[in-house]
Amino acid sequence: MKRTPILAGHSLGGAAAAIYAENNPNKIDAIAFWDSYPPDSADLSDNNISALSIFGTMNDIPNTESFNNQKRLLPPFTKFFPIEGANHAQFGDYGPQKGDVEASLTLTEQHDLVAEIMLDFINP
């Protein structure tokens, strides 16, 4: 059985995954960002890997301030999945984060949605 290497990361973990993907384009087949995006140093817009972006919203607006600006760095066929009511810190489960919005979902609800979206991405 062929393995399909997939990188996933939340926040700075997503940025690190993007840098790895940019520098090692033949080593992974897919990348998933959890309330994250590539830094300017990792332009994946010309990369053919499958990409997924799961992010929290409040009133259909991304919670991460720079999100819309950095979308230009993602591969052209990136799938975007907003989760209404999700917040940044609950993607990583490390407690409240200064400047974050208050989630209207429980931690379990948010994690269940992320897991469901990831499974659909991994097993289309």
* pLDDT, position 68: 83
* Model confidence pLDDT, tens digit, residues 44-85: 999 989 999 999 988 666 777 788 889 999 999 999 999 999
Q: Residue 26 is encoded by which pair of tokens?
A: 């033949």
Q: Residue 79 is encoded by which pair of tokens?
A: 């799938």
Pairing label, strands 50-58, 61-62: antiparallel
- Least Cα distance to 101 among 68, 72, 62, 70 occurs for 62
* Model confidence pLDDT, tens digit, residues 101-124: 899 999 999 999 999 999 999 987
Q: Which residues lie below 8 Å from residue 1, measured CB to CB, with a gap of 6+? A: none
* Domains of the chain: residue spans and CATH: 6-122 (3.40.50.1820)
